[in-house]
Chain A
Amino acid sequence: DTGVSQDPRHKITKRGQNVTFRCDPISEHNRLYWYRQTLGQGPEFLTYFQNEAQLEKSRLLSDRFSAERPKGSFSTLEIQRTEQGDSAMYLCASSWTPAYGYTFGSGTRLTVV
């Protein structure tokens, strides 16, 4: 297993455009998480899937954000009508037993210009 994969690694987009990120978790992990991290901060929770069910969404996740995990495998995070404040590192993590830790991907660095 190659760990958690995220694509793309970097994305530069113009304000107002839509972007979509993909995460491929470790295949045995049924739980998948999205976090956002800005400079000087720790990761902030965005949303959580157990298999294909989205069980929790942070209030940070505005209506412009949507996440899916069809068939309980890979996940996508879409941001519509991007704003400069959306610029951040978007991290995906997966786990089997979450109390014991996550495996993170390398992240997608989004820059909105």
Chain B
Amino acid sequence: TQLLEQSPQFLSIQEGENLTVYCNSSSVFSSLQWYRQEPGEGPVLLVTVVTGGEVKKLKRLTFQFGDARKDSSLHITAAQTGDTGLYLCAGAMMVRLGGSNYKLTFGKGTLLTVNP
């Protein structure tokens, strides 16, 4: 079973359109991160959200963490061709009591293609 479900799995849009991708789970996370990955490269961290209900903006990208810290969304306004890539969400869960030992679990990702 997939701990983190991302939807949609694939998304193809025209430049200038808006889009939202979702990351859902039945588990509560200490924090949730969004990464973007380009072909043949490692994921690059975009944002970390920690507090339930938190909203963070990164230029045209808006990230929201659900009130119960189980889900998150990423909204892109006026998409550009440079936004093309695999968007991964990852939830951090504490693996040992005490200290700060967390394990990051990834969803399968949303593959976004922005066409000119």
Contacts and interface: CB of A to CB of B under 8 A. Distances in A.
Interface string B79-99: 000000000101010011000
A45 B105 contact: yes
Interface stretch (A14-22, A61-69, A70-78, A104-112): A104-112
A101 B41 contact: no
Contacts of A41: 108-109
Interface of A: 4, 6, 33, 35, 40-45, 48, 50, 55-56, 91, 93, 97-107, 109
B44 interface: yes
15 contacts: A4-B42, A35-B106, A40-B108, A41-B109, A42-B88, A42-B109, A45-B105, A55-B101, A98-B100, A98-B104, A99-B48, A99-B92, A99-B102, A102-B45, A107-B41
B77 to A, nearest CB: 23
A42 B45 contact: no
Q: Of residues B43, B48, B100, which shows the largest number of chain A Cβ atoms within 10 Å of its Cβ?
A: B43
Contact of B30 (A43, A99, A105): A99
Nearest to A33: B104
B113 interface: no
Q: Lowest 6 A-B CB distances belong to which pairs? A: A104-B42, A42-B106, A101-B45, A98-B102, A99-B92, A99-B31
Nearest to B45: A101
B104 A45 contact: yes
Contacts of B72: none
Contacts of B31: 99-100
Contact of A98 (B44, B92, B108): B92
B82 to A, nearest CB: 19
A99 B100 contact: yes
B64 interface: no
Q: Of residues B35, B44, B92, B100, which shows the largest number of chain A Cβ atoms within 10 Å of its Cβ?
A: B100
A90 to B, nearest CB: 10
B50 interface: yes
